Homo-oligomer: A and B are copies of this chain.
């Protein structure tokens, strides 16, 4: 349980109703890959407390760290703080540190009483500050609550990654001249013999393709990857490897 991997929750009706093209998920996937922290799921859910609570509970059974994107704000559709608190079994409280930051930003008078909702957080939350980001990241029980606005999301994600472990993955590719049905037997055998190595098989589609299947071989240890590639080359149908990448 709670493997040392990450999961992501993208929160927002606007994504599921095609009003915006979601970009934070793809950015997170790329950055976690570069950082070397495995990602086990990305779940897009609506601005709905029950849906967020259920999705977060599932994510936390699978992953030690969870990133949320969106639903952080003062309006009626911003329910992330409340839902995360509920999923973690914590009360929603006003963070004095956040209140002080907002007071400094607004001067004496807040734009409205609802504006103070921005200082609310699950009890026990901490704030991550960084030189790059105007706003601190809200974190609680290894859940990082990031805003949906892409510029803010990106800046805050870097603050999170700075405190998270990572081991970049080594990848080799094999481009094949035959289709998946022809290689399934050899792939089965190698995948079974090397369960610690991630082997992917990706067929192309259409007549103009330069190869029929691309295999990927991944592990954090380059020597393990090399050995697995050599074994694949031995066991695949003779002459089917067009090139290695």
Binding site for B on A (CB under 8 A): 13-22, 25-26, 29-30, 33, 38-47, 51, 54-55, 58, 61-62, 73-78, 110-115, 117-118, 149, 151-152, 169, 171, 179-185, 187-188, 191-192, 198-203, 205-206, 216, 218
Q: How far is the CA of A245 from the CA of B169 in the complex (A)?
A: 47
- Min CB–CB distance A19 → chain B (angstroms): 6
The answer to whether A44 and B46 have CB atoms under 8 Å apart is no
The answer to whether A41 and B41 have CB atoms under 8 Å apart is no
The answer to whether A30 and B14 have CB atoms under 8 Å apart is no
In the complex formed, the residue of B with least CB distance to A21 is B26
Given contacts A41-B51, A51-B40, A199-B77, contact A17 B185 (CB under 8 A): no
Q: How far is the CA of A216 from the CA of B15 in the complex (A)?
A: 13
The answer to whether A149 and B218 have CB atoms under 8 Å apart is no
The answer to whether B205 and A73 have CB atoms under 8 Å apart is no
Q: How far is the CA of A200 from the CA of B192 in the complex (A)?
A: 49
Q: How far is the CA of A227 from the CA of B235 in the complex (A)?
A: 68
Residues of B within 8 A of A188 (CB): 75-76, 114
The answer to whether B62 and A13 have CB atoms under 8 Å apart is no
The answer to whether B44 and A76 have CB atoms under 8 Å apart is no
The answer to whether B43 and A16 have CB atoms under 8 Å apart is no
Max chain B CB contacts within 10 Å: which of A47, A62, A117?
Answer: A62
Max chain B CB contacts within 10 Å: which of A16, A75, A78, A185?
Answer: A75
Residues of B within 8 A of A216 (CB): 14, 19
Given contacts A216-B14, A216-B19, A218-B17, contact A183 B33 (CB under 8 A): no
Given contacts A26-B22, A74-B180, A112-B185, contact A43 B41 (CB under 8 A): yes
Determine which of B45, B62, B149, B203 lies in contact with A205 in the assembled complex, contact meaning CB atoms within 8 Å: B149
In the complex formed, the residue of B with least CB distance to A111 is B181
Q: How far is the CA of A182 from the CA of B10 in the complex (A)?
A: 26
Max chain B CB contacts within 10 Å: which of A18, A61, A203?
Answer: A18
